[in-house]
């Protein structure tokens, strides 16, 4: 209530001492500015060419070592992932020690060692430093790359790829790599199961031999260490690392495109769209524009709450938890990227706003107030970063690696202060391409239709999780309909080609019993399923298991045309009622497909031709009217067989349930009647492979099984 009053009264609130009352209405003024100390260490080159950077910090008795081998980035072609595998294997054994021995030694000291494709980061208490160094030295000069470790690491990497398939960030990053740089550029190469499969241990050994040389390497030592000690460490532990011939660097073209291009990756069940708006940028580290672009990006979408993207899309519109942008300089090619995660409904609105912000800053630059705020916040961030001794080491490394002026970091704050609004507008115009953006969306297929509008050519491209083009469904040939596909399948099952012959056989068949079995590792035994179909709509099945001589009936289902129910081991019997009962009554004999077009219980949609591993399939959506659950049926274009069903539904608690059934091995039973003899059910990751052992076909159904007596 009293915002404008200056309070000068002394008062007694709590306690007994009088405290001069402060003015809460105004932010307090800062004290005099503190001094920022920058002490960038020299780089010392050893005899074998290894460049050493030492930053002393005696606060904690801890010393860390970082090795960075600056070999050129080259394409891995059909062996994408090679350098990563190499990095993982660097700690996997030497000619003197097994991986187990190395691991034991490192852990015994409580030390940490992480290797990468370009070296390692290692840290320990100072008292263990010599022991740690002797291990590190052994790792980099005598790696053995054992075959079994190689096999294991490749296998694990393949599993990890599988895991990445459900991560929206990994998917978006794959697509961004491909569209920004091209699939042949080192940054556009995507590691796949196939590319990892092409790798051999010899590839890894060759990679090590050609690239891992001291004359291209930097060793950064930080912590409780003196210059003299550091010198001794290098002499003792790294002088035996022999010089090599530096591999030649290469340059690469990046693709050019026109207009804005949209790429969509389907992530089933996604509740948010991961939006990435990006383009490549020719910007090398150390270029004079880098610092200006950093300021520009800070205004647009740097990490603060005041940045335009955050303030517009989060604080004003509440579309997202966070929306950011980055401009990254790079020796080969840099990039600009903006985006975040947005709920499905606002996907298109979010894209509109992000593009608007990119446009706006390219056309009119930044305001005085924004520039002032960002300069202050970047100055503070620079000062704060000096708390970590690693920062000083990084400054030294960058200075030598990118050939920066010696005083680049010492004058950083002065250079920052000098930047003007006009300069920012210039670099915005020069580097940002608001009319030539790659717009990548990873999300639910329901948002896809809203995205076409952002593509200048009107046709967005569908991508898979690895950035490869996803083939859209092809249209079916003229005259092919859902009904003709289903008919052809039904006829084929009886080896006939017309309705009259089909009906003729159908008349003779009134009762079919199929017996299946499948091994089930989880129970250490087998399961047996027998299914019964009886005219006109009777169905029954019984599922039994036999594990180590223990036999049990797991599940029963039965329906005699009027009533029926299910029995589950442990849950007892449940009678069919209401909808469930009606569904059973509506059922068809032997093939549910027989009812697709002769009744109006179903919505059947022939979606088109899908291609899976080179084979073409008619994809058909099947939905029982009034139900949310649905399924896809895949009929081979070549043979006409129904080869796969995918089911999607939800249980009573709203959890997704469903699974896939694959049919194979179509063989004749008798008199032209053909059934698949292999049926693989994939139920939420649980795979059961049934073999059809026996089929009995009779004219008249028996009644027992359909009342639950097997």
Partner 1 sequence: MKLKNWLIAGTILCSISASAQDSRKIDFVEYDLPNGLHVILHEDHSTPIAAVTILYHVGSKNENVGRTGFAHFFEHLMFEGTTNIERHTYDKYVEGAGGTLNANTSQDRTFYYELLPSNQLELGLWLESERLLHAKVEDIGIETQREVVKEEKRQRMDNQPYGSLMYEVFRRAYKEHPYQWVPIGSMEDLDAAQEEDYVNFYRTFYVPHNATLTIAGDIDIEQTKKWIDQYYGTIPNGDRLDLYRDLEFLSLEQFQEKYGDELKGMATSKDFMGDWHNEMPTEDFIKKYFSKVSNEQHEVPRPTIKEGLLQAEIRDTVYDNIQLPAIIMAYRTPELKHEDHYAVEMLSMLLSQGNSSRFNKNIVEKQEKALAAFAFPFGLEDPGIALSLAIANMGVDLKDLEAALDAEVENTQTELISDEEFEKLRNMAESDFISSNSTMAGIAESLANYHVYNGSTDLINTELEKYMAVTKEDIKRVANKYFIKSNRVVLYYLPKEQNN
Chain residues 553-592 in contact with partner 1, contact rule CB under 8 A: none
Which CB atom, from 195 or from 533, has the smaller least distance to partner 1? 195
Encoded tokens for 607 = 């979606």
Q: Is 552 in the site for partner 1 (CB under 8 A)?
A: no
- Binding-site member from 311, 436, 515, 595 for partner 1 (CB under 8 A): 311
φ, ψ dihedrals at 66, nearest 5°: -125, 125
- Binding-site member from 318, 356, 471, 569 for partner 1 (CB under 8 A): 318
Neighbouring C-beta atoms of residue 16, cutoff 10 Å: 5
- Binding-site member from 131, 205, 343, 678 for partner 1 (CB under 8 A): 343
The DSSP annotation for 135-190 comes to: HHHHHHHSB---HHHHHHHHHHHHHHHHHHTT-HHHHHHHHHHHHHH-TTSTTT--
- Binding-site member from 45, 134, 147, 156 for partner 1 (CB under 8 A): 156
Neighbouring C-beta atoms of residue 472, cutoff 10 Å: 12
As measured in angstroms, the least distance from the Cβ of 517 to partner 1 is 19
- Binding-site member from 131, 231, 287, 314 for partner 1 (CB under 8 A): 314
- Binding-site member from 97, 98, 141, 167 for partner 1 (CB under 8 A): 167
- Give one word for 319, left, alpha or beta, with left for phi > 0 and alpha for psi -120 to 50: alpha
Which CB atom, from 109 or from 674, has the smaller least distance to partner 1? 109
Which CB atom, from 187 or from 663, has the smaller least distance to partner 1? 663
Give which of 276, 256, 282 is closest to 430, Cα–Cα: 282
Q: Is 147 in the site for partner 1 (CB under 8 A)?
A: no
- Binding-site member from 163, 245, 251, 256 for partner 1 (CB under 8 A): 163
Alpha-carbon dihedral 95, 101, 104, 106, rounded to 10 degrees: -10
Neighbouring C-beta atoms of residue 429, cutoff 10 Å: 14
Site for partner 1 in 98-137 (CB under 8 A): 99-100, 103-104, 106-112, 123-127
Choose the stretch contacting partner 1; rule: CB under 8 A; options: 12-20, 502-510, 534-542, 698-706: 12-20
As measured in angstroms, the least distance from the Cβ of 531 to partner 1 is 24
Which residue bears the tokens 């289902």? Answer: 557
Site for partner 1 in 38-57 (CB under 8 A): 38-39, 56
- Binding-site member from 130, 240, 380, 458 for partner 1 (CB under 8 A): 380
Which CB atom, from 42 or from 497, has the smaller least distance to partner 1? 42
- Name the strand (E) or helix (H) holding 694: strand 686-698
Q: Is 547 in the site for partner 1 (CB under 8 A)?
A: no
Which CB atom, from 1 or from 422, has the smaller least distance to partner 1? 1
Which CB atom, from 111 or from 213, has the smaller least distance to partner 1? 111
Which CB atom, from 594 or from 657, has the smaller least distance to partner 1? 657
Which CB atom, from 77 or from 473, has the smaller least distance to partner 1? 473
Cα gap 346→348, rounded to integer Å:
6
Site for partner 1 in 505-524 (CB under 8 A): 521-522
- Binding-site member from 215, 326, 377, 563 for partner 1 (CB under 8 A): 377
Give which of 151, 158, 146, 150 is closest to 192, Cα–Cα: 158
C-alpha 391: how far from chain center = 30
As measured in angstroms, the least distance from the Cβ of 118 to partner 1 is 20
Q: Is 205 in the site for partner 1 (CB under 8 A)?
A: no
Strand partners, 64: 123, 222
- Binding-site member from 68, 319, 454, 589 for partner 1 (CB under 8 A): 319
Site for partner 1 in 685-704 (CB under 8 A): 685-686
Choose the stretch contacting partner 1; rule: CB under 8 A; options: 151-159, 174-182, 489-497, 536-544: 151-159
- Binding-site member from 236, 684, 693, 709 for partner 1 (CB under 8 A): 684
Strand partners, 272: 343
Cα gap 220→230, rounded to integer Å:
10
Q: Is 152 in the site for partner 1 (CB under 8 A)?
A: yes
Q: Are 258 and 184 in contact (CB under 8 A)?
A: no
Site for partner 1 in 649-668 (CB under 8 A): 655-660
Site for partner 1 in 224-283 (CB under 8 A): 224, 226-227, 267-272, 274
- Binding-site member from 45, 58, 247, 250 for partner 1 (CB under 8 A): 58
Give which of 580, 572, 568 is closest to 539, Cα–Cα: 580
Using CB atoms within 10 A of its CB, is residue 498 exposed (0-12), middle (13-18) or buried (19+)? exposed
Neighbouring C-beta atoms of residue 457, cutoff 10 Å: 13
- Name the strand (E) or helix (H) holding 609: strand 602-612
Choose the stretch contacting partner 1; rule: CB under 8 A; options: 206-214, 289-297, 338-346, 568-576: 338-346
User: What track of x and - describes contact with partner 1 for positions 592 through 621 (by CB under 8 A)?
Assistant: ------------------------------
Which CB atom, from 9 or from 248, has the smaller least distance to partner 1? 9
Choose the stretch contacting partner 1; rule: CB under 8 A; options: 43-51, 206-214, 412-420, 585-593: 412-420
Tell me how far CA of residue 415 lies from CA of 200, 288, 483, 581, in angstroms.
50, 10, 73, 79
Cα gap 393→156, rounded to integer Å:
34
- Binding-site member from 48, 97, 379, 398 for partner 1 (CB under 8 A): 379
Strand partners, 610: 617
Give which of 178, 694, 212, 132 is closest to 470, Cα–Cα: 178
Tell me how far CA of residue 305 lies from CA of 233, 315, 671, in angstroms.
45, 8, 75
- Give one word for 182, left, alpha or beta, with left for phi > 0 and alpha for psi -120 to 50: left
Q: Is 407 in the site for partner 1 (CB under 8 A)?
A: yes
Cα radius of gyration rounded to whole Å, the chain: 34
Site for partner 1 in 18-37 (CB under 8 A): 19-22, 24-37
- Binding-site member from 141, 215, 304, 450 for partner 1 (CB under 8 A): 304
- Give one word for 521, left, alpha or beta, with left for phi > 0 and alpha for psi -120 to 50: alpha
């Amino acid at each position: 209530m009293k915002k404008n009053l200056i309070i000068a009264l002394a008062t007694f609130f709590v306690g007994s001492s009088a405290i001069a009352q402060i003015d809460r209405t105004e932010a307090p003024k800062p004290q005099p500015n503190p001094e920022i100390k920058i002490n960038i260490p020299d780089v010392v080159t050893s005899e074998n060419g290894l460049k050493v950077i030492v930053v002393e910090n005696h606060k904690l008795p801890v010393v860390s070592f970082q090795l960075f081998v600056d070999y050129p980035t080259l394409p891995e072609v059909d062996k994408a992932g090679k350098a990563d595998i190499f990095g993982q294997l660097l700690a996997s054994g030497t000619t003197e020690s097994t991986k187990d021995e190395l691991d034991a030694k490192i852990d015994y000291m409580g030390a940490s060692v992480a290797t990468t494709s370009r070296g390692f980061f290692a840290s320990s208490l100072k008292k263990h430093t010599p022991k740690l160094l002797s291990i590190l030295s052994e790792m980099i000069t005598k790696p053995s790359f054992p075959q079994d470790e190689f096999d294991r690491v490749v296998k694990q990497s393949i599993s990890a790829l599988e895991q990445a398939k459900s991560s929206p960030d990994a998917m978006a990053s794959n697509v961004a790599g491909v569209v920004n740089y091209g699939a042949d550029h080192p940054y556009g190469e995507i590691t796949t199961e196939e590319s990892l499969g092409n790798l051999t241990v010899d590839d890894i050994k060759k990679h090590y031999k050609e690239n891992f040389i001291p004359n291209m390497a930097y060793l950064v030592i930080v912590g409780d260490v003196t210059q003299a000690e550091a010198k001794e460490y290098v002499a003792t532990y790294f002088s035996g690392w022999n010089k090599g011939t530096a591999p030649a660097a290469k340059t690469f073209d990046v693709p050019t495109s026109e207009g804005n291009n949209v790429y969509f990756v389907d992530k089933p069940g996604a509740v948010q769209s991961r939006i990435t708006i990006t383009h490549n940028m020719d910007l090398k580290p150390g270029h004079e524009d880098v610092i200006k672009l950093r300021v520009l990006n800070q205004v647009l979408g740097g990490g603060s709450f005041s940045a335009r993207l955050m303030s517009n899309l989060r604080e004003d519109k509440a579309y997202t938890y966070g929306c950011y942008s980055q401009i990254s300089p790079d020796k080969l090619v840099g990039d600009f990227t903006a985006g975040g995660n947005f709920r499905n409904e606002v996907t298109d609105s979010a894209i509109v706003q992000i593009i608007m912000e990119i446009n706006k800053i390219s056309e009119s630059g930044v305001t005085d107030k924004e520039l002032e705020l960002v300069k202050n916040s970047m100055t503070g961030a620079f000062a704060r970063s000096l708390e970590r001794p690693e920062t000083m080491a990084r400054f030294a490394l960058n200075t030598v690696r990118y050939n920066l002026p010696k005083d680049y970091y010492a004058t950083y704050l002065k250079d920052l202060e000098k930047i003007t609004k006009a300069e920012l507008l210039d670099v915005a115009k020069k580097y940002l391409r608001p009319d030539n953006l790659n717009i990548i969306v990873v999300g639910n297929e329901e948002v896809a239709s809203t995205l076409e509008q952002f593509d200048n050519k009107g046709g967005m491209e569908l991508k898979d999780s690895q950035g490869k083009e996803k083939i859209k469904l092809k249209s079916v040939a003229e005259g092919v309909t859902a009904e003709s596909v289903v008919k052809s399948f039904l006829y084929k099952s009886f080896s006939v080609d017309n309705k009259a012959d089909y009906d003729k056989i159908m008349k003779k068949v009134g009762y079919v019993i199929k017996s299946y079995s499948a091994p089930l590792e989880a129970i250490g035994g087998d399961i047996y399923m027998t299914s019964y179909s009886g005219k006109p709509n009777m169905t029954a099945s019984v599922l039994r298991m036999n594990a180590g001589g223990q036999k049990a009936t797991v599940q029963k289902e039965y329906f005699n045309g009027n009533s029926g129910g299910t029995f589950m081991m442990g849950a007892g019997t449940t009678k069919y009622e209401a909808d469930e009962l009606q569904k059973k009554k509506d059922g068809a004999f032997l093939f549910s497909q027989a009812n697709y077009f002769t009744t109006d219980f179903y919505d059947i949609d022939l979606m088109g031709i899908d291609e899976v591993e080179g084979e073409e399939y008619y994809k058909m959506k099947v939905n029982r009217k009034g139900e949310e659950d649905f399924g896809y049926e895949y009929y081979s274009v070549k043979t006409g067989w129904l080869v796969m069903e995918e089911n999607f539904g939800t249980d009573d608690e709203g959890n997704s349930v469903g699974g896939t059934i694959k049919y194979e091995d179509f063989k004749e039973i008798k008199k032209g009647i053909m059934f698949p003899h292999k049926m693989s059910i994939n139920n939420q990751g649980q795979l059961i492979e049934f073999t059809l052992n026996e089929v009995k076909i009779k004219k008249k159904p028996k009644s027992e099984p359909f009342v639950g007596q097997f």
